Amino acid sequence: MKKLNIGVVGYGFMGRTHSNAFRQAPRFFDLPYEPVLKTICARNAERAQAFASKWGYESYETDWRRLVDSKDIDVIDIASPNDTHAEVAIAAAQAGKMVMCEKPLGRNPAESEAMVKAVEDAGVANMVWYNYRRVPAVTLAKQLIDEGRLGRIFHYRTVFLQDWTISADLPQGGEGLWRLDASVSGSGVTGDLLAHNIDTAMWLNGQIGEVTAMTETFIKTRKHSLTGEETPVHIDDASLFLARFDNGSLATFEATRYARGHKALYTFEINGEKASIKWDLHDLHRLEYFDHRDEGKLRGWKDIHITDSDHPYMKNWWVPGLQIGYEHTFTHQVADFLAGLGAGTNASPTFREALKTDYVTDAVLRSAKSRQWETPKTV
């Protein structure tokens, strides 16, 4: 098995999920490449070293340019805050590295477009971590739709509900809190949460044609964790929009960090002429399926426990009835990326595919300001 040397930028939450995925994928999947955790990069040397030791990285760096310049690195994986994505990705691509990048691509369409151009000009393999596509239940949903089982689609509804920023005492910015600082994150829940909803939605149901949106910032000022000063909050705390897909179906999208009682409740439901599908992240190992072709008196929503060997990815794990968890979605993405590499195909979503999502989040933010229906730019 060929070795593939990985350099990871960022050691936060996503640094951990990615590191774990690189370690786990070859244990459970037969792959053409063995990823090697070569170098971790983060600004704080002490913590970078500890992280390297914990996860078995061969070395650590505090300047990402060292990874880009290194001949020992095949893949640059970007797991750092959003304001670093464009710069690192573009430099990595120009250095001929494959690039994997956390979502969203850039903080705005201009950054994202430059990133797409860079990887395509360089002709390097690239992928964005929209990990929820690789929840087995979500992949199964995709299969069912592609097999035509739902028929014509009428409705799509999806939410991403959290409640972790309700307290007015929570500061903005800094370690672990950069998602509340618009200059780093680009936007609030629109880029952080809705981007997931949109990526999945367009993967399952095609292009979104137009949107009308509203956003809100419930807490107007917060202390900044670095300066200690009370400053205006620029992110959107909540973002909601109505949409019409190109296939004629109607949709509601909503994301918020002010939905008391929900930690990470990402859900979607799709209603087709013949069948409907529901899924939620809080029980990610289940898929709800209603098939109108069932015998009348026995029609109902079927609760499918996605742990069988004929469910996507699941024959590689345990035995029926035994669920996997959140982290496995990243493992699947690594497995698919490496398999694609072996087959000479790009694992989805590529930077270009992810750009489509950024165009929709941009239209959402524009609509919230213009109070008009807006049309997302298309790729």
Q: Residues 75 to 104: which contact a second copy by CB under 8 A?
A: none
| Residues 6-25, interacting with a second copy (CB under 8 A) | 13, 16-17, 19-20, 23
281 contributes a contact to a second copy by CB under 8 A: yes
Reading phi first (left if > 0) and then psi (alpha if -120 to 50, else beta), residue 95 is in alpha
The beta strands (E) that lie in 10-134 are given as: 33-41, 59-61, 75-78, 98-101, 126-128
User: What three-state secondary structure class fits 272?
Assistant: strand
**What's the sign of the alpha-carbon dihedral 147, 265, 176, 183?**
positive
Least distance CB 55 / a second copy (angstroms): 6
Instruction: Decide if residue 322 touches a second copy (CB under 8 A).
Output: yes
Instruction: Tell me the Ramachandran region of residue 154: left when phi exceeds 0, alpha when psi lies from -120 to 50, beta otherwise.
Output: alpha
- Binds a second copy by CB under 8 A, chosen from 285, 332, 352, 356: 285
Please state the closest distance from residue 345 (CB atom) to a second copy, in A: 24
Name which of residues 53 to 72 contact a second copy (CB under 8 A): 54-55
Q: Which of residues 125-154 bind a second copy (CB under 8 A)?
A: 140, 154
Site for a second copy in 242-261 (CB under 8 A): 242, 244, 248, 250, 252, 254, 256, 258-261
Q: Which one-letter DSSP state was computed for residue 194? A: I
| Listed residue (200, 194, 231, 230) closest to 214, CA to CA | 194
Which residue, among 127, 145, 136, 197, has the nearest Cα to 348 in the 3D structure?
127
> Least Å distance between CB 73 and a second copy?
22
Which residue in the set 324, 334, 341, 365 belongs to the binding site for a second copy (CB under 8 A)?
Answer: 324
Residue 322 CB, nearest distance to a second copy (Å)?
4
Shortest distance in whole angstroms from residue 152 CB to a second copy: 8
Q: How many residues bind a second copy (CB under 8 A)?
A: 88
